[in-house]
Structure 1
């Protein structure tokens, strides 16, 4: 049967609404994090900017307290990358997504681990991480001493990939810092991961937060494969994009008017909005490479203008004095006066979170 065709702009507005980027929402941070199936969190402070852009009146101390109380954790899950998730999601998703970590390890370190007894390495590493947190460098040293003939770096990654772990606090707390240290999920949360959620549930949650989307999109976001059979057995709405590809959606997925205005939004490093589809043109029509900078986060990221990725931002704190600080906006095209004013207004709000509201905002075009 003929499918309803959704334009790129219609998909853009649907995604922005579901990501709470058309209008900031209200409510606890845990509710939004659960609804979005986590927030990307390789840069440990990035989720603070992600939540600030999505929640009205967001208080960074709320997120820090949720991490301290272990109601939220940072763990490697979707795509074998670090996400900030609820404790319940961490416990229920780890086993479901374990094949992604296994495949990632083999792809990255298969040659280095040839001949090694990976099961023995992981068992010993799990025992260590169940007792106390270990940085990867410390884990590397201990494993290398025990098995000097095998690649110590690869062994440390095998443990971190194949053992369900969390990144422990104080790393990731607002205004604090600490080493990137790992501990087992079971020892940190006091419960073992269990496979109590079917893959169907994960696909439905993805579509509710990122849809309408293709099978390839779901697979890109999760890192899982062979999801066509899962999508086919679900009761979903079916659309087509402007190139005829089938897109799937939950029955009650909102589709706002494509002409709905989209406000300027600052996104942090690695925001899932930009990384969770195989076809990312709905928010990145030019196909520009998404910058993936190192660092702790909350200092740089991307900027949505009329719903699309059209600029980058970077907060310079000033090495010598506060007078040298700036919020630097680098746009990918010439900005209109109205766009620049909107960016300045939203940027001034961002500075109340990450810096000093008196910090000057400067502009450049690449």
Structure 2
């Protein structure tokens, strides 16, 4: 949906994209704005409040915004990555702990009331006093399907992360097991790309089983690329319009080979200690980063190009930036700042 904005609903877009990465609470608002012809902050906020969309730990053990109906199938698919993260991040502190007992205790607490991770960990520590409360809370997060409830990520309100069990919040239990073939068909690329997106390994047998149903190509490095036979495949000469992407956008976070959209130098410049900067694309390649600054009644879009931009490119970046400002701050004054403005 980055070559041409789609004329579809927020929920249909989130489903088509198999969710949007959402560690930054407002990132999905900008991710959808960049992909839809009609998108506003109220529509996504209402979908969260009305429980049609949920924020839940899924692929790569990261927070994703997904359609409530999708959570049911995607949670068991993501479970191996969630369990692996527990061992990676908390193995020492959880040595000898009955993780299932911790998960059940946490589920009981969260079925009674919504809790922040700190509150959940403190409550669990009463039973496991010699354990790190953060590790205890992580056990519940990664073994029990949890939802981050509003007002977290509600535009203009926001708030601390608070958990509820997904079952009590949505009224839907996760599927007993994932349907790998169905899910892989929704996110086709190379084998390594699919594995990077999922946070899982050993997925080649699934793609081999699907091979007779797929179109198969090779890129310039000889890597096989899988696609549905009737999928849209624009010609290489098609020029991609400027797009402003949010922090952690899946285009940059969920492929093994990202060089088709970002150089190694640019990748280093967008990677920070705390995550990933928001970026902008020029003709399909990351050409810089952006951020919003708010001061009283004015909002400034800071543009940080990573290479010299032509006058035409600057004009296109600023035109798209003005649209983003109108979307994000319709009642404020607007400025655009950066090396594009001389």
Which TM-score tier does this pair reach, normalised by the shorter chain?
over 0.9
Would the aligned equivalents of 1:267 and 1:303 in 2 still touch at CA under 8 Å? yes
> Displacement of 1:197 after TM fit?
4.8
Would the aligned equivalents of 2:297 and 2:333 in 1 still touch at CA under 8 Å? no
Taking the aligned partners of 1:194 and 1:292, their CA distance within structure 2 comes to 36
1:257 matched to 2:232? The reply is: no
Supply the RMSD in Å over aligned alpha carbons.
1.8
1:306 matched to which residue of 2? 283
5+ long unaligned stretches in structure 1: 1-19, 208-212
Taking the aligned partners of 2:72 and 2:274, their CA distance within structure 1 comes to 28
Taking the aligned partners of 2:105 and 2:111, their CA distance within structure 1 comes to 10
Alignment of 1:250-289 (within 5 A): 250-286=228-264, 288-289=267-268
1:93 matched to which residue of 2? 74
Taking the aligned partners of 2:220 and 2:92, their CA distance within structure 1 comes to 43
Taking the aligned partners of 2:163 and 2:240, their CA distance within structure 1 comes to 39
1:352 matched to 2:326? The reply is: yes
Taking the aligned partners of 2:176 and 2:73, their CA distance within structure 1 comes to 6
2:165 matched to which residue of 1? 184
1:335 matched to 2:312? The reply is: no
Candidates 297, 308, 315, aligned match of 2:292: 315
Would the aligned equivalents of 1:112 and 1:154 in 2 still touch at CA under 8 Å? yes
Taking the aligned partners of 1:243 and 1:95, their CA distance within structure 2 comes to 33
Would the aligned equivalents of 2:291 and 2:301 in 1 still touch at CA under 8 Å? yes
1:361 matched to which residue of 2? 336
Alignment of 1:105-254 (within 5 A): 105-195=86-176, 197-207=178-188, 213-234=189-210, 235-254=213-232
> Displacement of 1:96 after TM fit?
2.2
Moved segments of 4+, more than 3 Å: 290-295
TM-score (norm 2): 0.93
Would the aligned equivalents of 1:270 and 1:292 in 2 still touch at CA under 8 Å? no
Secondary structure in 2 aligned to 1:63?
Answer: helix
Would the aligned equivalents of 1:39 and 1:85 in 2 still touch at CA under 8 Å? yes
1:14 matched to which residue of 2? none
Would the aligned equivalents of 2:76 and 2:178 in 1 still touch at CA under 8 Å? no
> Displacement of 1:254 after TM fit?
1.4
5+ long unaligned stretches in structure 2: none
Which one scores higher on RCO, CA 8 angstroms, separation ≥ 6?
1
Taking the aligned partners of 1:58 and 1:199, their CA distance within structure 2 comes to 31
Deviations 1:233-268 (A, max 9, x none): 002211111111122112222110111121110001
Aligned residue pair count: 335
Deviations 1:23-67 (A, max 9, x none): 111121111110110011111111110111111121221111111
2:11 matched to which residue of 1? 30
> Displacement of 1:175 after TM fit?
1.4
> Displacement of 1:358 after TM fit?
3.8
Secondary structure in 1 aligned to 2:205?
Answer: helix
